[in-house]
Amino acid sequence: MEIDIVWVDCVEVEAVEMNEMWSFIYDKSHQCWLWWAIDHNATVVLAYCFGTREHKYLVELLVLLSLFKIKCVYDDDNFVYQSHVKG
């Protein structure tokens, strides 16, 4: 059995901006949410995911961001960030 090894470097990011936005498909009862994070200084997208407004999609985004050594997080004071993001 052959095992593939993947090496991952953690990249240090000074500050991250996190936000969410939504649109709808056909009508407003079919909402689709985008959860995203960008490097505050470089304005480069670091990670994103699509889903609903449920907190599990923020958790999914945080898992994607775990490869970065994030020092500071900016958000829009949505209560979900207060309960899931430390800093």
> What is the domain partition of the chain in residue ranges?
11-81
pLDDT in tens, 7-50: 666 778 899 999 999 999 898 888 999 999 999 998 889 999 99
Give the whole-angstrom CA distance, residue 20 versus residue 2: 41
Q: Is the pLDDT of residue 87 over 70?
A: no
pLDDT at 23: 94
Longest dimension (CA), the chain: 50
pTM of the model: 0.78
DSSP strand pairing (68-74 vs 11-25): parallel
